[in-house]
Amino acid sequence: MHCGRMADRHAPRKAAGTASGWQIEAGLDLDAFLSQRLVARVAASGPSVRPVWYLWEERAFWWLTGGWSRLPALLERDPRIALVVDTCDLATGSVLQVRARGSAELLPFDVQRARRWGSRYLGPDERRWGRFADGVFHDASTRFVRLAPTTLRARDLSYSPDLRWVAAGAQ
């Protein structure tokens, strides 16, 4: 399903205080958007695309990988990746997207960062994390992937939906 663009939107431009190569559309709060519990999709060479739960900290994306995934081997061979986080609400017409590219780093497991990651998606009670607590915290192969984007584009592609179509259930 295609989500359209409002005609009165302005072209993205580099916001004040952003890194070279970053374009954040005026009015889009990058940190607030990326602080939501959303799923990012990461593309690596292979080709390979996978959904990941991520943290947005220190102007970088962080997610977990390990022996359960081919991603560490792919990144060791070629660290270049692309990542997208987006929303598309057909009922309200809200369409937001962040696209990022750069070279990923494989970093050692950090217990405190992993706890922030787990709390973000699974809630604060670690006893309820089930296989994630056991599989992540006790697997020696678990590592963090960090992407500090060299290019990033954040856009608001929202539009005004046809409320008659939405109310009819898009049939």
Residue 84 within any structural domain of the chain = yes
Residue 147 within any structural domain of the chain = yes
Residue 170 within any structural domain of the chain = no
Residue 140 within any structural domain of the chain = yes
Nearest Cα neighbor of 82 from 30, 31, 47, 53 is: 47
Number of domains into which the chain is organized: 1
Residue 15 within any structural domain of the chain = no
Residue 91 within any structural domain of the chain = yes
What DSSP state is assigned to residue 48? E
Residue 50 within any structural domain of the chain = yes
Q: Domain span at residue 56?
A: 22-158
Torsion of CA 44, 61, 14, 27, to 10 degrees: 120
Residue 2 within any structural domain of the chain = no
52 φ, ψ (degrees, to nearest 5): -140, 145
CATH, residue 52: 2.30.110.10
Could you report the per-residue pLDDT of 47-78, keeping only the tens digit for each?
789 999 999 999 999 999 999 999 999 999 99
Residues in the chain: 171
Mean pLDDT by 10 residues, the chain (171 residues): 38 56 92 92 86 96 94 95 94 94 97 95 93 85 97 95 70 52
